[in-house]
A and B are shown apart, each in its own frame.
Chain A
Amino acid sequence: MKSLQQHMRLRMPMILTSHSDNSSAEFAGSYYDGKSSRAHSVSVIFNGSTISINGPGIKRTYQTSSVKVSEPLDNAHLMLTFKDGSACELPDSSILKSMLAKTGRRESLAVCLQSKWTTAAFAFLFLILLIAAGYKYALPVVADAASHYISDNTLSIISSKTLQNLDINMLKPSDLTEERQSDLRRRMSEIKFADNANLKTNIEFRNTPFGGPNAFALPDGTIVFFDSLVNLADNDEQLAAVYAHEAGHVYHRHGVRMMIQSSAVALVLASYFGDVSSIAGALTGLMLNAKYSRDFERQADDFAAQTLLNNNLSPTLLGDFLMKLERKCKKKQSDNNRSMLYDYISSHPAAEERAREMQRYIYHK
């Protein structure tokens, strides 16, 4: 069997000598004095506490603790940087690395993680978990907190810009008569919210060739009804219920929160894929593309039910209308097998379940 020394010599031709106790070894390297670009061929003697450089006209000794050792990499040369600005480059240094490790030199967490595939794989898994957890738990909380820092003025600018964009690209003016529109506005302005709500709403009517019956709220309190939704309702009280539901979204700042969340996601995705220009484009269409979570819908339903009760109206109005909406959309979908872009139902919790919730309000409150 070969001795350790012979073995190392065969595998590591750079090592000139290596003592069997492994506490001292000699390596071939290039020394640079920091004053000129001349490369001096030297031998580097590592002796536990000291590192000596020996070559023609060069004889230096440094304390090991004062030497800066570069991060270990697979193919890159090891660089020893000394206090006087000079440095030594060692082509093959795996032995020196392990010897330096024995002197109590600790590598950073990053180096420990990246040096092996197993730890790198763990880092990858942990990264995925971290991103998933951040998206599910941290982002909504942060967005909620941040939404309170956006001024009303900003909200109204964002909202009017969004509506302008939609008017240009998707929406058409309403076909409802002026009388019908002002009648509905008057009917809805009679709905009083709880004293602490302090809501200012502004009702708009639009027609659209895309999607089914729908209504949506913009962050500044603008609530847009589609003609198809108005025509679907059995009576104006049902529309008032939808209005109360949308006002709930405004009250809980759902629109702004979704906008903050979506732009945060867009920002992260853009920085990952390195395309910043996509952020600007993504922002405008966000409001409608973003689906409210079930929690947001429930909050809005609760707000609606409370408001309806306060105005001596039945919370079942909303439930009845939701059921009707669902039947209509189901029928339409079977008629026409294309999925609707802004399908009111698909983003909402099952209408039947919500209708039941509304019933509950009557008995409990």
Chain B
Amino acid sequence: MNWHYKIEGRKVGPISQTEMDRLVKIGLVRPDTMVWNDYSNRWQTYNEAVNGSSDEDADEPWAPYKGPGKSFQQNSAEPPKYRPVFTTPLSYETCHQIEFTGSGSEYFRIWIVNLLLTVATLGIYSAWAKVRRNKYFYRNTRIAGSSFDYHGRPIAILKGRLIAALLLGTLFLFKNIIPDYYLFGLVVFGAFVPWLVTKSLAFRMRNTSWRSMRFRFDGTVRKAAKVFYIHGLLSMLSGGIFYPLFYHRQKAFLFNNVSFGRESGNFGISSAPFFGVILKTAGITALAGMSIFFLSSTMLATILQFFGTKIAVLFLIPVLIYLSFIFIGFPFYQVNMTNLIWNNFTLGSLSFASSLKFSRFAWITLCNTLFTLITLGLYWPWAVVNLTRYRAESITLVAQNGLDQFEAGLSDEESAAAHEITDAYDFDISF
């Protein structure tokens, strides 16, 4: 059963039953917290949701909860199966909304200088540009008054870019010059993918810090190979039907292997909701495309007359589907997927509440695209900042035990030595 709940007036969800139980246990969801579930299909207090009605047993609000699908009516003959234990009293001081303090006008200046230096150095500066861009976004993102920081070294990124250029260049040559060997080229390229992905994720995490503590990524190439070769191939061979499963495994590979201090991440959701989000996105995109097509049916006659039926079918319909994907399908997918992922991710005792809304996200996407087109791309920095701000500020971090208790896993010397060694072989590739 999927749950939603409200925190400081913001809707959060969907979350799984397990995650809901955990939130009840840590006290974030209280008897009076407004919740919604598939079963009730309306907003009500958590007390009402698990007990049917609140006034029937006001003296014992936390009596048995019998699990999804079963009757919520109380049956005094059965012993209570589940009784939430409030270890800590709830306090909203444990909720930290992520802050983003970047501005479009400042990022524009950084962006234009980065662009100039990249062009002037024939692309070599792009690695330094990437570090400065990442630093800008990390340092302007804060949780509980403390900002993130980025420590990636440009040389490592330059190395990654060279490797990527070499691989993609080879693949491009294979495709265009000797198409007969394209499959061979793809296989060679594919052999590198798990290694590249693992190294890049490790680089990104190791170079991200909060309160001068680095994040860590412990995923292995073997695990990545399993994701890409088993689930990736399954997705490819099934013509994309199993893509949601593949995507779920990729996210699980990232979120299950990330750690901060001694606490490691846990991605507590199955792949089923991923299928749901992607199916819904496909449906909504097709629906939106068709409704735009039929809404303009007054113009349809003219269009058919002007372009001919063949062009209308071959050209106009794909364009409409594309437009409805950009402005409706893509925001829908982003909002639901982001909420799904963050609401089911925990890092030790930390959990996250993501409350992106479709209407707002779609509006930002629409404005960003229009202004970027009108200004021939000059609006781009504002567009990136707008979207980053909305995404960051929609996430609330729930730290029931506070944020001070994270301890570094390794001793100073060990971690310093590890940094030196990994730095030497470091590179970063962003796909």
List A residues at the B interface (Cβ < 8 Å): 30, 32-39, 70-71, 73-77, 79, 81, 84-87, 89, 91, 109-110, 113-115, 117, 120, 123-124, 126-127, 130-131, 134, 154, 157-158, 272-273, 280, 283
Contacts and interface: CB of A to CB of B under 8 A. Distances in A.
Contacts of A123: 112-113, 116
A73 B114 contact: no
B145 interface: yes
B124 interface: no
B116 A36 contact: no
16 contacts: A36-B406, A37-B404, A39-B145, A73-B106, A74-B103, A75-B103, A76-B102, A76-B140, A85-B415, A85-B416, A109-B117, A110-B113, A113-B113, A114-B109, A114-B113, A123-B112
B146 A74 contact: no
B147 A76 contact: yes
Contacts of A81: 212
A134 B261 CA distance: 49
Contacts of B109: 113-115, 117, 120
Given A30-B146, A89-B147, A130-B120, A79 B139 contact: yes
B282 interface: no
A124 B109 CA distance: 9
A70 B139 contact: yes
Contacts of B210: 37
A37 B116 contact: no
Interface in B400-424: 403-408, 412, 415-416
Given A34-B212, A71-B132, A77 B147 contact: yes
A72 to B, nearest CB: 11
A36 B404 CA distance: 7
A72 B128 CA distance: 16
B215 to A, nearest CB: 11
User: A-B pairs with the 9 shortest C-beta distances?
Assistant: A37-B406, A75-B101, A32-B212, A87-B212, A120-B109, A76-B139, A38-B404, A114-B109, A127-B116
Contact of B261 (A37, A39, A74, A124): A37
A74 B139 CA distance: 11
Contact of A30 (B116, B145, B213, B408): B145
B112 A120 contact: yes
B272 interface: no
B279 to A, nearest CB: 25
B408 A36 contact: yes
Given A36-B404, A84-B412, 20 more contacts: A32-B146, A35-B213, A36-B213, A37-B211, A38-B404, A39-B211, A71-B132, A73-B139, A74-B106, A75-B101, A76-B139, A79-B139, A85-B415, A85-B416, A89-B146, A110-B117, A114-B113, A115-B109, A120-B112, A127-B115
B132 A154 contact: no
B119 A131 contact: yes
Q: Is the interface of A mostly helix, strand, loop or mixed?
A: mixed
Interface in B353-368: none
Contacts of A131: 119
Interface of B: 101-103, 106, 108-110, 112-117, 119-120, 128, 132, 135-136, 139-140, 142, 144-147, 149, 175-178, 210-213, 260-261, 377, 403-408, 412, 415-416
Residue of B102, B108, B177, B405 with most chain A CB atoms under a 10 A cut-off:
B177
B119 A127 contact: yes
A273 B116 contact: no
Given A36-B213, A89-B146, A127 B139 contact: no
B349 to A, nearest CB: 12
A153 B92 CA distance: 71
Contacts of A157: 177-178
A127 B112 contact: yes
A37 B120 contact: no
Contacts of B139: 70, 73, 76-77, 79
B13 to A, nearest CB: 28
A70 B177 CA distance: 47
B117 to A, nearest CB: 6
Contacts of B114: 110
B260 to A, nearest CB: 8
A55 to B, nearest CB: 14
B140 A73 contact: yes
B108 A36 contact: no
A34 B213 contact: yes
Contact of A32 (B101, B112, B116, B213): B213
B147 to A, nearest CB: 5
- Which of the listed residues A39, A76, A109 has the most CB atoms from chain B within 10 Å of its own CB? A76
